[in-house]
Amino acid sequence: MVRHLIIIFTILLFLNSCSLAPKYQRPKAPIPSSWPKGEAYKQLNNSLKTPDELRWDDFFTDERLKKIIIIALENNRDLRLAGLNVQRAMALYGIQRAELLPSLSVVARASQERVPADLSETREVMTRERYSVDLGILSWEIDFFGRIRSLKDRALEEYLASQEARRSAELSLISAVAITYLSLSADRENLKLSQSTLETQESIYQLMKRRFEVGLASQLDLNRAKTQVETAKADVSRYTKLVAQGENALSLLCGTKIPDELLPSELEKVIPPKEVSPGLSSDILLNRPDILSIEHQLKALNANIGAARAAFFPRISLTTTLGTASKELSGLFQSGSGTWSFVPQIVSPIFDTRTWLALKAIKVEREIALVQYEKAIQNAFKEVSDALAQQGTIKDQILAQESLIQALKETYRLSYLRYTKGIDSYLSVLDAQRSLYSAEQGLINLRLLELTNRITLYKALGGHNGKSQE
């Protein structure tokens, strides 16, 4: 028996000596090595920090927004599910890893059997009893050809993929909360603008009504002024609804109602997040959590090929026990009651077409995963390129919009002055009002676009590459 034990432990030393899985090599990224160039990208600043140098709580500078993000990270149900998936994958990896090592079991048995006279050696009715206690290894597969090791590697990669999926979910949640917060700020600012416009239009309508009563304004001008009042009322109602919906969306993302003191007042008072740079090389995309997750899945399928290949070779299993047995319970541990067994088993496939088809299916799955990996990189490159194009032009748009508003304010002032002096019709005043109001709304939307684009770029570049915050 000692010789058998020596053989077992010698085998254990060489468990990891054989693997039939193909060597993994990271596929070449199917994108240019540098970012796009052209008129839309002329304002890019590569001296800024890259996202992997900025944690989210460094990237965001508005204190109320950071508190809301913390609430979301603690309460969001989707993020909780992602975390539970990580725990499940870790447990499955532990189970698969344990398959490499033998498990020791204690088996106690007791049996009684009545033997009839015609079957008894003594030709008399008798009762047989047997008691035994065995300590041993039961049906342990010795992994000569790396099947279990490949399955262990697959489970490890699936666990790592779930970790990256959780990090991706966390980054998506942070971005969604921030963009919703900024959108709510813009809606509140638009609501404030529409309320101010309504007050102005109502005062103009009252003035127009008095002028009409004394014959200084026409019915048409009065109706036009009334139209502006009703339009402003409709905008107030619309933005009131959008503000309420924005608060509901923020509460859903955070998994709880947000305290009123943390809600934004208007976009102009929000401290903007920092600007980031993509760096000089597009290789930064390979560290995006969603792309890393797909790559780990690709590695898992690569390891699965090793398990499928090992199915063509013999499977060796071993059952061995040491114990004691006696026909009486009191004699179990007495001298001379020791027992042992050594039962190796080899099962070798001869003809089974399923193994060939399984290997072919796994290879096709790996090719599918490879295409998905390459497509994810290409989509990431487009997302970053679009965000960079937006970043490179948005400031010029804002400056032009601010200049337009100043011109429209002066146009409105002069139009109203000409109307009150009877030089021009109220239609000119009406056109100037509409243009100014629309331009002010457009400026709010452009400022919102600038801030959300910073967040989009931070997310598209993969955010911070460190461990996710618990």
- Domains, the chain, with CATH or none: 2-100+143-313+353-460 (1.20.1600.10), 110-140+315-348 (2.20.200.10)
Query: For residues 203 and 326, which has the higher predicted lDDT (pLDDT)?
Result: 203
427 band by pLDDT with thresholds 50, 70 and 90: confident
Strand arrangement, sheet containing 315-326: 104-115, 126-142, 315-326, 338-347
SS (H, E, C) the chain: CHHHHHHHHHHHHCHHHCCCCCCCCCCCCCCCCCCCCCHHHCCCCCCCCCHHHCCHHHHCCCHHHHHHHHHHHHHCHHHHHHHHHHHHHHHHHHHHHHCCCCCEEEEEEEEEEEECHHHCCCCCCEEEEEEEEEEEEEEEEECCCCHHHHHHHHHHHHHHHHHHHHHHHHHHHHHHHHHHHHHHHHHHHHHHHHHHHHHHHHHHHHHHHHHHHCCCCCHHHHHHHHHHHHHHHHHHHHHHHHHHHHHHHHHHHHCCCCCHHHCCCCHHHCCCCCCCCCCCCHHHHHHCHHHHHHHHHHHHHHHHHHHHHHCCCCEEEEEEEEEEEECCHHHCCCCCCEEEEEEEEEECCCCCHHHHHHHHHHHHHHHHHHHHHHHHHHHHHHHHHHHHHHHHHHHHHHHHHHHHHHHHHHHHHHHHHHHHCCCCCHHHHHHHHHHHHHHHHHHHHHHHHHHHHHHHHHHHCCCCCCCCCC
Is pLDDT of 429 > 50? yes
> What is the Cα–Cα distance from 283 to 29, expressed in whole angstroms?
8
> What is the Cα–Cα distance from 132 to 329, expressed in whole angstroms?
8
- Res 109: pLDDT: 80
Is pLDDT of 272 > 90? yes
- Return the structure tokens found at 319: 């059952």
- 155 phi/psi in degrees, rounded to 5: -60, -40
Give me the helix-helix angle, 219-254 and 63-75, nearest 10°: 50
- Res 377: pLDDT: 93
- 18 phi/psi in degrees, rounded to 5: -135, 130
Is pLDDT of 212 > 90? no
Per-residue model confidence as pLDDT tens digits over 216-244: 778 888 888 888 889 899 999 999 999 99
Is pLDDT of 315 > 80? no
Burial (CB count <10 Å: 0-12, 13-18, 19+), residue 106: exposed
| Radius of gyration, CA atoms only, the chain | 37
Query: For residues 279 and 443, which has the higher predicted lDDT (pLDDT)?
Result: 443
Per-residue model confidence as pLDDT tens digits over 42-78: 766 777 888 888 899 999 999 999 999 999 999 998 8
- Res 56: pLDDT: 92
Contact 346, 316 (CB under 8 A): yes
The gap between the terminal CA atoms of the chain, to the nearest Å, is: 52
Regarding pTM above 0.85, the answer is: no
470 band by pLDDT with thresholds 50, 70 and 90: very low
Per-residue model confidence as pLDDT tens digits over 130-160: 777 777 767 777 767 777 778 888 888 888 8
Contact 195, 122 (CB under 8 A): no
Contact 132, 325 (CB under 8 A): yes
446 band by pLDDT with thresholds 50, 70 and 90: very high
